[in-house]
């Protein structure tokens, strides 16, 4: 019983501390708002199922990114080979956020532009740039993706150049 409560608490803390991050991953990889909700629910279920391996994890951030990213890409692959995805319209895990009164229109537009620029990248580069924006180190990015740190550097160099051009270009 105590073990169960510990697992519940670990899971809830994990979700509480990373909810915004998980939603960003959903927004980047989902094709529309319904798919976003579906993916969010799927990621939570997979985090719960993978929780036993979290206990031994030395880097919780890396673990979370791995599970969330792998779930997002797996769901995308499944959708690609399915005619249509099943969306739970009444999905209660996700409630649409209500904008805060002080959220500026300009900030919203800038975010839209940022997401539009990320959407132009391929699936792996999207993951790299999300972790870069989250200020993850080259080492952490390499651990999530399973590539070398120096190759992360090469990828980031190219992605930053592309993103800079796109973000500047869209402002013109």
Q: Is 18 left (phi over 0), alpha (psi -120 to 50) or beta?
A: alpha
Minimum separation from the CB atom of position 60 to another protein (A): 11
Confirm or reject binding of residue 17 to another protein (CB under 8 A): no
Confirm or reject binding of residue 143 to another protein (CB under 8 A): yes
Say how many Å lie between the first and final Cα of the chain, rounded. Answer: 60
Residue 136 in contact with residue 63, Cβ under 8 Å? no
Minimum separation from the CB atom of position 68 to another protein (A): 9
Minimum separation from the CB atom of position 40 to another protein (A): 11
Q: Could you give phi then psi for residue 120, rounded to 5 degrees?
A: -80, -15
Q: What is the DSSP letter of 61?
A: H
Confirm or reject binding of residue 3 to another protein (CB under 8 A): no
Minimum separation from the CB atom of position 76 to another protein (A): 8
Confirm or reject binding of residue 135 to another protein (CB under 8 A): yes
Largest distance between two CA atoms of the chain: 60
CB atoms within 10 A of CB 6: 11
Q: Which of 124, 152, 150 is nearest to 136 (CA)?
A: 152
Confirm or reject binding of residue 89 to another protein (CB under 8 A): no
Q: Label residue 71 exposed, middle or buried (CB < 10 Å: 0-12, 13-18, 19+).
A: buried
Total residues contacting another protein by CB under 8 A comes to 70
Give the one residue of 1, 100, 102, 157 binding another protein; rule: CB under 8 A. Answer: 100
Which residues in this chain contact another protein in the complex, by CB under 8 A?
8, 11-12, 15-16, 19-20, 23-24, 41, 44-46, 48-50, 53-54, 57, 63, 66-67, 69-71, 73-74, 77, 80-81, 92-98, 100, 107, 109-111, 113-114, 117, 122-125, 127, 132-135, 143-147, 151, 154-155, 160, 163-164, 167-168, 170-172
């Amino acid at each position: 019983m105590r073990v169960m409560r510990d697992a519940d608490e670990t899971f809830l803390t994990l979700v509480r501390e990373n909810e915004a991050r998980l939603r960003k991953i959903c927004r980047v990889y989902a094709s529309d708002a319904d798919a976003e909700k579906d993916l969010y629910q799927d990621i939570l279920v997979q985090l719960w199922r993978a929780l036993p391996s979290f206990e031994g994890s030395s880097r919780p951030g890396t673990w979370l990114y791995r599970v969330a990213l792998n779930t997002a890409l797996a769901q995308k692959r499944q959708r690609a080979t399915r005619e249509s995805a099943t969306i739970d319209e009444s999905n209660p895990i996700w409630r649409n956020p209500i904008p805060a009164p002080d959220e500026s229109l300009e900030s919203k537009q800038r975010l839209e532009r940022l997401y539009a620029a990320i959407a132009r990248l391929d699936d792996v580069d999207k993951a790299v740039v999300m972790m870069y924006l989250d200020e993850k180190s080259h080492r952490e990015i390499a651990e999530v993706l399973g590539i070398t740190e120096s190759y992360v550097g090469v990828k980031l160099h190219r992605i930053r150049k592309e993103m800079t051009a796109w973000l500047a270009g869209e402002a013109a």
